[in-house]
A and B are shown apart, each in its own frame.
Chain A
Amino acid sequence: MALNYRLPFVTATAVEVVDLVKSYGSTTAVDGLSLTVETGSITAILGPNAAGKTTTIETCEGYRKPTSGSVRVLGLDPVTDHARLAPRVGVMLQTGGAWSAARAVEMLRYVASLHAHPLSVDALVERLGLGSCGRTPYRRLSGGEQQRLGLALSVIGRPELLFLDEPTAGLDPQARRGCWDLIGDLSAAGVTVVLSTHYMEEAERLASEVYIIDAGRVVTAGSPGDLMAAGAGGSMTFSAPRGLDTVDLAAALPPDCAVSEGPPGRYTVSGQVSPHTLSTLTRWCAEREVMPGQLSIEQHTLEDVFLALTGKELR
C-alpha cells in the first residue's frame, strides 16, 4: 500500500489560474490566461516585456484582484485569504521593496524577525555574497546587490511557495549562476517556485514547465524539451556533389521536411530534425554512394521557439 507522506495542507496543485483577465481601464494586461503549477515544480513564465508576466504573478500574490477568472494559491484565494497565505508564500518584487536608508543585512534581519522559523541570516548572506555590502544602505547598493537582497528577502521566511519576478534581471554571469544554484537547491528542498523571466537560458536550465505568454495569453506551454522538440524542429546542412535530386530526397524524408540546394553542392534540410530524419537522410545518401560531408545539425533552442511564437520585432 502506498503511503502518503505529504502534509495535509500540501495539495498537488500549488497554483491554479483559470481564464484570468485583468484590465486597467481600457488596457487589458492579461487576457484569458490559464496556468497550473504543480507542487514541487519550477514553473517559468516566459514572455517579452509587457506580455502580462508581472500582472499574472502579482495577481497570484494577492496584489491585484482579477477582473474575471479565478486564481487559487495553495488552495486559497490570494486576496481574501491573504493573511493565511502571507507566511507561506515568498515574494520577490521586480524592483524596490526596501527603505533607502536601511542597510542590506539590517533589512534582512528585520524581515527575518517577522517569521517564525527564518533561515540563518548569516548563512544566507554568505550564500548570496551579500557580506561585503552588508552595512551599505539600500540606495547605495548596485543593481545586482539590490536584486540579490530581494531574492534573500523572499526566501528568508522559509516559504513553501516562491514567486520570483525576473529574479536575475541585471545580474552579472557569476551572480546569475549563484542565483540559479540557490533556486535549484530551494526546489530540491521542496519549495515550489514560480518565476517570470525573459531569459531563455534561465527557463531552459531551471524550469520543469514553461509557459510562453504574449499579449496577456498563453501562447504555448510544456517542458523545455517538449517545446524545443515541438517548436518547428531545426535544420541539417551537408555538402555533396552538385545536382542531387532534392525532390526525391524530400519525398523520402518525413512530410514536414523541406530540402533545398543553397550554394551549389550545399544542401539544407529544414523541418522536424529527429534521429529518424537523420537516419533517413544518411540511408538515402548511402543508397546513392553519396558522402554527406560537413554534416551539421542545428536544433532549435527555446529562444528560437520564443521568437517564432512572439515575433521578432522590437516593442
Chain B
Amino acid sequence: MNDMRGADATTPAMPRLDLTPAPGSAPAVKMVVAHALMETKLVLRNGEQLLLALVIPLLLLLAGAKAGGVVDLGAGRRIDVLTPGVMALAVLSAAFTSLAIATAYERRYGVLKRLGASPLSRASLLAGKVLSLLALETLQLSAIGALGVALGWDPDGGLAAALSAVLLVVLGTLCLGSLGLLMAGTLRAEATLAGANLVYVLLLVAGAVVVPAASYPDSLGSLATSLPSGALAEGLREVLSGEGLAWTRAAVLCVWAVIGSAMTMRTFKWE
C-alpha cells in the first residue's frame, strides 16, 4: 500500500492523466469481441471448467474406444458411435454446465451488476457470451475430432454432414445455453454449481448422450431424445454417419431454445 505515496518529491513524476470528461461507448462489435475474449481467457484459466469441458470428454472418448464391450453402444463401429456422442457431451458441458456456473458466480460477485452500469448492453453481453462459447466449442470439437480420427473415427456424409453438424451444434448451444442461464439467473450460485453438475452427470448416464438411445429401454430412450442433450447427440450420430439431418432433432432443439429463452427473459435476476 506504500505505493500510494507516489506523489512525493522523491519519486518520479506520474504519467499525465487527462481527467476531463470524454464519455462515449465503444462500437458494439468491439465491446462484444472484448467481452468474448475476456470470458474465453477466464474459462481457459479455470481448471475445473477445463476439466469438465475438455479433459473428461477426451478421457471418455479414449476409455470408451479402448475398453470395448463394457458398455453396449449398439450397431456400427464403436469409435464412429462414440465420437459424435462425446462431441455432444462437450457441448453440454460448455453451453449448459460451464455457462450456468460461471454466470451464477458473475451474479454473486456483482460482475453483472457492474457491467449493467457500463456501456455494454445486455444484448451485447449475451452476444459476447455466445461468441466465447462458440470459441470454446471450436477448441473442444477440434480436439475431440482429432483424437477420434487418431483412434480410427471415419465420419461419413461429406460437407453436407459437416454443415448439418455445425447447425446442430449452434442450435444445441442456444438451447442448452438458454437453459443454463435460466438456472444461473434464478438459483443461488452454490445451488447452480451443484445443480448444473448433477444435470450433467444424470444426462451423461441416462440422457442418450454418449450411449445411443437405442441402447436404453424404449421409454427412457424416447424421453432422452426429447431432451436437448439427447436430440443433439442422436442428431450428431445420425448426420456424421451419413444418414442426413432428421428435422425432428432440429425441431426438438428449437422448441427447447424458445422455451428456455422465454423463461430466462422472464425470470433472470441480474443481482
Q: Do A and B come from one complex?
A: yes
**Which A residues contact B (CB, under 8 angstroms)?**
61-63, 83, 86-89, 91, 93, 95-102, 106, 110-111, 113-117, 119-120, 122-124, 126-129, 131-132, 142, 144, 153, 155, 157-160, 172, 174-175, 177-178, 181, 185-186, 188-191
Q: A142 — which chain B residues lie within 8 A by C-beta? A: 1
Verify if B38 is at the interface (C-beta below 8 Å from A).
yes
Verify if B14 is at the interface (C-beta below 8 Å from A).
yes
Contact status of A119 and B19, CB under 8 A, knowing A100-B105, A174-B4 = yes
Contact status of A155 and B19, CB under 8 A, knowing A97-B114, A101-B46 = yes
Cβ-defined contact, A158 with B23, below 8 A? yes
Cβ-defined contact, A158 with B19, below 8 A? yes
Cβ-defined contact, A177 with B21, below 8 A? no
Q: Report the 5 A-B pairs with minimum CB-CB distance, sorted nearest first.
A: A116-B24, A96-B110, A97-B114, A129-B3, A160-B21
Partner among B2, B14, B21 whose Cβ is within 8 Å of the Cβ of A126: B14
Closest CB in chain B relative to A283 CB, distance in Å = 47
Interface flags, B4-17, vs A, CB<8A=1, else 0 = 11110000001111
Cβ-defined contact, B42 with A122, below 8 A? no
Cβ-defined contact, A83 with B121, below 8 A? yes
**Which B residues contact A (CB, under 8 angstroms)?**
1-7, 14-26, 30-31, 34-35, 38, 41-42, 45-46, 105-106, 109-111, 113-114, 116-121, 271
Q: A185 — which chain B residues lie within 8 A by C-beta? A: 17, 19
Closest CB in chain A relative to B6 CB, distance in Å = 6
Docked Cα-Cα span, A221 to B234, in Å, equals 69
Cβ-defined contact, A123 with B15, below 8 A? yes
Cβ-defined contact, B17 with A114, below 8 A? no
Partner among B4, B21, B111 whose Cβ is within 8 Å of the Cβ of A99: B111
26 contacts between A and B (CB under 8 A): A86-B25, A88-B21, A89-B117, A91-B117, A93-B114, A96-B109, A98-B109, A99-B38, A110-B34, A110-B35, A114-B31, A115-B23, A115-B25, A115-B26, A116-B25, A117-B24, A123-B16, A124-B17, A128-B4, A131-B3, A159-B23, A174-B2, A175-B1, A178-B4, A178-B6, A189-B21
Cβ-defined contact, B21 with A190, below 8 A? yes
Cβ-defined contact, A127 with B14, below 8 A? yes
Docked Cα-Cα span, A39 to B120, in Å, equals 25
Docked Cα-Cα span, A189 to B23, in Å, equals 13
Docked Cα-Cα span, A144 to B2, in Å, equals 12
Contact status of A174 and B19, CB under 8 A, knowing A95-B110, A98-B111, A129-B6 = no
Q: B38 — which chain A residues lie within 8 A by C-beta? A: 99, 102, 106, 110
Cβ-defined contact, A172 with B1, below 8 A? yes
Cβ-defined contact, B111 with A97, below 8 A? yes
15 other A-B residue contacts (CB within 8 Å) besides A99-B38, A113-B26, A126-B15: A93-B114, A95-B110, A102-B38, A110-B34, A113-B31, A116-B24, A116-B26, A117-B22, A117-B23, A120-B17, A123-B15, A155-B19, A158-B21, A178-B4, A185-B19
Cβ-defined contact, A114 with B110, below 8 A? no
Q: B4 — which chain A residues lie within 8 A by C-beta? A: 128-129, 174-175, 177-178
Docked Cα-Cα span, A76 to B105, in Å, equals 32
Docked Cα-Cα span, A155 to B35, in Å, equals 19
Docked Cα-Cα span, A62 to B117, in Å, equals 8
Contact status of A87 and B24, CB under 8 A, knowing A96-B110, A123-B14, A186-B19 = yes
Docked Cα-Cα span, A218 to B113, in Å, equals 27
Closest CB in chain A relative to B81 CB, distance in Å = 37
Docked Cα-Cα span, A88 to B116, in Å, equals 13
Closest CB in chain A relative to B171 CB, distance in Å = 29
Q: Which residue on chain B has the smallest CB distance to residue A158?
A: B22
Q: Which residue on chain B has the smallest CB distance to residue A181?
A: B7
Cβ-defined contact, A86 with B17, below 8 A? no
Contact status of A97 and B25, CB under 8 A, knowing A126-B6, A190-B20 = no
